[in-house]
Every structure is written in C-alpha cells, then in structure tokens.
Chain A
Amino acid sequence: MIPIEYYLILSAFMFIMGVIGVLTRKNAIIVFMSIELMLNSANLTFVTFSSYLGNVTGQLFVFFVMTVAAAEAAVGLAIIIALFRNKQTVSIDEINILKW
C-alpha cells in the first residue's frame, strides 16, 4: 500500500507547478492551463483523503470542482477570445488598461 504522503507530495508538486505557470507565463491561455493544473491537484487531494479515510463525500466535492472548472473554462476562454478580437493579443502584459 502506498503511504498517503506520496499522493500528497504529488498533488503539492502539481499545485506548485500551477503557481509557477500563473506567475511566470505571459500567454493568457497558458495561465489558464496552469489554473486547471491547480484545480486538478486539489481534486487529487480530495480523492486521496476520501480513499484513505473511507468517506465518499470527498469524491462528490470533486464533482463540484469539475463543474466550476467547466463553467470557468467556458466563460474564461470566451473572455480571452473577446479580448483577442478587441486587442489582437493574448499577452497579459499588453492587457493593462486598468493599470494605474
């Protein structure tokens, strides 16, 4: 049996990868993919605890996270596409009209 720590290390690694992607990449779509990575790592943690504590509720919460992720994908990518149509770029450095 694999100890629970291994799964937790794995999901922490995925989460940190997501943070790196959000902080360092310029393309809005890659930032978006990194957010999906972080959501996936949270899901993995939920399922790990659900399995090691013998409680199915954690798996149900993964459903809810997936629904939010899908809604986010639909709206977020629609925003990125609308942005591209107006400014001809998806680089988050050049989208700065709200910058003070």
Chain B
Amino acid sequence: MLESYIPIMLVLGFAVVFAMAAVFSSKLFGPQRPNPEKLSTYESGVKPIGTTHERVSIKYYLIAMLFIIFDIEVIFVYPWAVEFRQLFAEFGISVFVSMFIFLVVFELGFLYAYKKGGFDWD
C-alpha cells in the first residue's frame, strides 16, 4: 500500500539534498572576505532606513484569513466531487442541493467581507 508513496519520498529526498548542496557548497568552496559594506542590507544601492523588523499592515491579515476559510471550503467540496456520480445515482438532486446550501451560506460571508471593503487595497 505504501509503495505508491515511493516517488514522493524520492522527490522529498532529492529536494532536501539539492537544497543542502546549493546552500552549503558555496559556503564550502567560495572565498569568504566579508567587510561591513558587504554585510549591510542591500537596499537598491541607497542607504537603508530603519530595520527589517517592520510591522506589516492589517490588510494582509484579512487576505490570509479569507484564504484559510476558503481553504476549508475546498476540503469539503473535494470528497463530495469525487463521489458525486455515485451519490447522485443513489439520492438524486438532493446531493446537489445540500452542497448548494453549504456554498450559499459560505458566499454570504464572502459578500459580507466584500461589502465591508475587505478587498479594497488601501
């Protein structure tokens, strides 16, 4: 049963080895002569202002939150869609209606966020 996961394990192992090699080979083989100018933050040639530990805007949080809610929606729609043909043969239109109610309830939240200006970018 687990044999079908061998390709995934291979890709995973290859990714880890490749990332390690890419990061550490330059440390291992390249010359290292750091000075303060080289180590400073690169800001397109201008002198950097402040630190990089800036607080990000709340707008991004709203986007991330909408993303996670719709992520959850997908995990419920997926098994339903895979099994739809058999369920439809068994129960008829009510399978479709129950998912439709779920999605309509969901889109009410989407509509709310839209009306509140959750998608406006300033």
Contacts and interface: CB of A to CB of B under 8 A. Distances in A.
Do A and B originate from a single complex?
yes
Interface stretch (B5-13, B43-51, B69-77): B69-77
A77 B69 CA distance: 14
Contacts of B72: 66-67, 70
B75 A81 contact: no
Contacts of B71: 70
A70 B68 contact: yes
Interface residues of B, number: 9
Nearest to A69: B72
B42 interface: no
B56 to A, nearest CB: 11
Contacts of B75: 63, 66
Given A66-B72, A66-B75, A67-B72, A74 B65 contact: yes
Contacts of A77: 61, 65
A73 B72 CA distance: 12
Given A73-B68, A74-B68, A74-B69, A63 B76 contact: yes
Contacts of B61: 77-78, 81
A69 to B, nearest CB: 9
A77 B68 CA distance: 13
B59 to A, nearest CB: 12
Interface of A: 63, 66-67, 70-71, 73-74, 77-78, 81
Interface of B: 58, 61, 65, 68-69, 71-72, 75-76
Q: What 8 A-B pairs are tightest by C-beta distance, nearest first?
A: A74-B65, A70-B72, A70-B68, A67-B72, A74-B68, A81-B61, A74-B69, A73-B68
21 contacts: A63-B75, A63-B76, A66-B72, A66-B75, A67-B72, A67-B76, A70-B68, A70-B69, A70-B71, A70-B72, A71-B69, A73-B68, A74-B65, A74-B68, A74-B69, A77-B61, A77-B65, A78-B61, A78-B65, A81-B58, A81-B61
